[in-house]
């Protein structure tokens, strides 16, 4: 439906909710309370909500530990030895990869370092990394220390892409031009999939193709893309990617991260990776022999045995994702974010602009509102009204209308607070 069909009206919003085939999914989640009612939660891009099944599943795992002790590795209902295999199909679905190309392990920044150790192998004149300026700080620290480790000066080795003067988002053409200009000095393009601050969804296949033409690898930090936008990592020929699962994927604070490695690297035993016993060929793992034999695929980057308790909520979440379906979620997400955008455009009395791309293909479930002034006042008013949004110093409010549990009514109530104070 064209956006012109949207209406800034509560009964319209409620009617949209009744027509929403995914509406009932919100019943599966626990919402923080405000004055005895569920908050309207727009922070799913920061920390997703807990699904109601987690408590029961966690207790089941604890009971298996109590009952089996060490034998739980093989005799638990979900044997711990192979726990990460339980959901690899569903995880692969979410990122558009083959089953062997993904693994849940470690946490995001750790995975970024481990994958860079494989994919950032500077030599001769080829040592530069392209990234977006203003990337999440952890990514900046990781990339800076990686180039330092090889003796390079970050100011020289890291090419940071900045928006044009006065703009907030990068032009896709400028990204490609920068990659072409770096040419054979370029070792790696390492960007976010969706920028955490602006919500810009980069053209991953185009960037990847340009990186490959330049003779470089292309890797993506999908923290804000996974479970949010449709990804086809394998078809897009992406070399590697990593993500966390506590944002859109609702797997809980500090939940296990994920990694993707294209099969042409993952199935090549001579491709460099730091080794641990969990990445070893599973049939040989308990033989305790000398000599690392990498198993097939991304799983060979695993080092330690899998954090089972940490994966319980992840498993539950991927179940919900499978039932809802990424395609249906993305369709609702487009409409929901489009509705929020439409509502915000009705507000004339507050000094803010939406810095997230207006093209729905270039964004996911996030809008970033940059305030010239009064941002903090608006944010506090939202909080008073039981609306949870995200404040980023000095003057940005980020909101994520998440299709799994946000409603059109939530968007309307957000708008109402702004309309009332403007
Ligand atoms: C959330 C986020 C992180 C957080 O990293 P952790 O290692 O999970 O603490 C890093 N990078 C980006 C781009 C993020 O959005």
Ligand 1 atom closest to Cα of residue 257: 8
Tokens of 298: 């991304």
Tell me what the pLDDT averaged over the chain comes to.
Answer: 96
3-50+327-421 carries CATH number 3.90.1150.10: yes
- β-sheet bridge partners, residue 37: 34
pLDDT tens digits, one per residue of 326-346: 999 999 999 999 999 999 999
Do residues 263 and 98 make contact, with C-beta atoms less than 8 angstroms apart?
Answer: yes
Based on C-alpha coordinates, what's the Rg of the chain?
22
140 phi and psi angles, rounded to 5 deg? -60, -45
Between the CA of residue 152 and those of 123, 144, 148, 185, what are the distances in Å? Answer: 11, 9, 5, 13
Using CA atoms, how far apart are residues 376 and 246, in angstroms rounded to an integer?
Answer: 26
Residues 6+ apart with CB under 8 A from 53: 28, 316, 319
CA distance 381 to 372: 17
**Other Cβ atoms within 10 Å of 73 Cβ, number:** 16
Q: Kindly state if the Cβ of 390 falls inside 6 Å of ligand 1.
A: no
Is 109 near ligand 1, meaning CB less than 6 Å away?
A: yes
Question: How far does the centroid of ligand 1 lie from the alpha carbon of residue 296, in Å?
Answer: 27
Cα 193 → chain centroid: 8
3-state secondary structure of 79: coil
Indicate which residue's Cα is closest to atom 15 of ligand 1.
223
Burial class of residue 206 in the structure, from the number of CB atoms within 10 Å of its CB (0-12 exposed, 13-18 middle, 19+ buried): middle
Positive or negative torsion for Cα 168, 173, 179, 183: negative
Cis peptide before 359 (omega within 30 of 0): no
Structure tokens given for 409: 């009514």
Write out the E strands in 317-366. Answer: 352-354
Is there an atom of ligand 1 within 6 Å of 244 CB? yes
pLDDT score for 4: 63
Give the number of the atom of ligand 1 that is nearest the alpha carbon of residue 139. 11
Residue 287, pLDDT above cutoff 90 = no
Ligand 1 centroid to Cα of residue 251, in Å, is: 14
Ligand 1 pocket: which of 105, 114, 138, 224 to mutate (most atoms within 8 A of CB): 138
Paired residues of 398 in beta bridges: 368, 390
* Token pair in block for residue 215: 């003779």
CATH code of the domain occupying 78-322:
3.40.640.10
Residues with Cβ within 8 Å of 89's Cβ and at least 6 positions away in sequence, in order, are 99
CA nearest ligand 1 atom 1, residue: 223
CA distance 203 to 193: 8
What is the per-residue pLDDT across 213-252, written as a single tens digit (0 to 9) for each? Answer: 999 999 999 999 999 999 999 999 999 999 999 999 999 9
Percent of the chain with pLDDT over 90: 95
282: confidence class by pLDDT, cuts 50, 70, 90:
confident
For 318, list phi and psi in degrees, rounded to 5: -65, -25
With the C-alpha atoms ordered 24, 26, 223, 368, is the resulting torsion angle positive or negative? positive
Reported as a pLDDT band with limits 50, 70 and 90, residue 289 is confident
* Both structure tokens of 120: 């950032």
d(CA 124, ligand 1 centre) in Å: 31
Q: Is 139 in the pocket of ligand 1 (CB under 6 A)?
A: yes
Query: Which atom belonging to ligand 1 lies closest to the Cα atom of 244?
Result: 8
d(CA 291, CA 139): 33
Helix axes 10-19, 408-421, angle to 10 degrees: 160
| Torsion, Cα of 40, 42, 47, 50 (10° steps) | 30
288 pLDDT band, cuts 50/70/90, is confident
User: pLDDT per residue over 77-99, tens digit each?
Assistant: 999 999 999 999 999 999 999 99
Cα-Cα-Cα-Cα dihedral sign, residues 256, 254, 308, 283: positive
Ligand 1 contacts CB of residue 15 (under 6 A)? no
Ordered by start, the domain boundaries in the chain are 3-50+327-421, 78-322
In the block, residue with structure tokens 């078809």 = 235
Is the predicted pLDDT of residue 103 greater than 70, yes or no? yes
Question: Dihedrals φ, ψ of 332, to 5°?
Answer: -65, -40
Helix (H, G, I), strand (E, B) or coil at 402: coil
Does ligand 1 lie within 6 Å of residue 136's CB atom? yes
- Is 1 a residue whose pLDDT tops 60? no
Looking at residue 231, its pLDDT comes to 98
pLDDT for residue 285:
78
- Calculate what percentage of the chain has a pLDDT beyond 70: 99
Sheet holding 352-354, edge to edge: 352-354, 367-371, 396-399, 390-392
Judged on CB neighbours under 10 Å (0-12, 13-18, 19+), 174 is middle
Distance 250 CA to ligand 1 centre (A): 14
* Ligand 1 close to Cβ of residue 401 (< 6 A): no
The answer to whether the CB of 192 is under 6 A from ligand 1 is yes
Tokens 């909500």, located at residue: 49
The pLDDT-based confidence of 62 (bands split at 50, 70, 90) is very high
């Amino acid at each position: 439906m064209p956006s012109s069909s949207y209406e800034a009206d509560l009964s319209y919003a409620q009617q949209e909710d009744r027509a929403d085939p995914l509406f009932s999914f919100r019943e599966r989640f626990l919402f923080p309370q405000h004055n005895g009612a569920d908050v309207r939660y727009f922070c799913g891009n920061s920390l997703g909500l807990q699904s109601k099944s987690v408590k029961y599943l966690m207790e089941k795992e604890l009971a298996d530990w109590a009952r089996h002790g060490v034998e739980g590795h093989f005799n638990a209902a979900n044997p711990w030895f192979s726990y990460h295999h339980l959901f690899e199909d569903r995880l692969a679905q979410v990122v558009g990869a083959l089953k062997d190309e993904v693994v849940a392990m470690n946490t995001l920044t750790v995975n970024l370092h481990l994958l860079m150790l494989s994919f950032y192998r500077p030599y001769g004149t080829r040592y530069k990394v392209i990234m977006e300026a203003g990337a999440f700080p952890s990514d900046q620290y990781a990339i800076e220390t990686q180039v330092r480790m090889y003796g390079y000066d970050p100011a020289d080795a890291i090419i940071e892409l900045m928006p044009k003067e006065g703009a907030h988002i990068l032009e896709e053409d400028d990204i490609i031009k920068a990659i072409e200009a770096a040419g054979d000095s370029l070792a790696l393009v390492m960007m976010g999939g969706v920028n955490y601050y602006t919500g810009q969804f980069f053209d991953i296949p185009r960037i990847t193709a340009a990186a490959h033409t330049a003779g470089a690898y292309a890797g993506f930090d999908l923290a804000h893309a996974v479970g949010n936008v449709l990804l086809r990592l394998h078809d897009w020929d992406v070399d590697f990617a990593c993500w966390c699962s506590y944002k859109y994927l609702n797997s809980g604070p500090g939940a296990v991260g994920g990694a993707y490695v294209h099969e042409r690297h993952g199935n090549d035993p001579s491709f460099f990776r730091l080794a641990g016993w969990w990445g070893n060929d599973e049939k040989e793992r308990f033989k305790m022999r000398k000599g690392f034999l990498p198993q097939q695929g991304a799983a060979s980057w695993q080092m330690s045995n899998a954090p089972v308790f940490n994966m319980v909520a992840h498993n539950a979440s991927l179940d919900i994702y499978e039932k809802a379906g990424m395609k249906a979620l993305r369709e609702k997400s487009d409409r929901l974010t489009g509705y929020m955008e439409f509502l915000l455009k009705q507000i004339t009395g507050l000094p803010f602009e939406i810095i997230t791309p207006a093209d729905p293909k270039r964004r996911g479930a996030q809008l970033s509102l940059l305030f010239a002034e009064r941002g903090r006042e608006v944010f506090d008013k939202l909080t008073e009204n039981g609306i949870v949004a995200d404040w980023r110093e000095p003057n940005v409010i980020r909101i994520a209308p998440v299709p799994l549990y946000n409603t059109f009514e939530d968007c309307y109530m957000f708008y109402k607070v702004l309309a009332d104070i403007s």
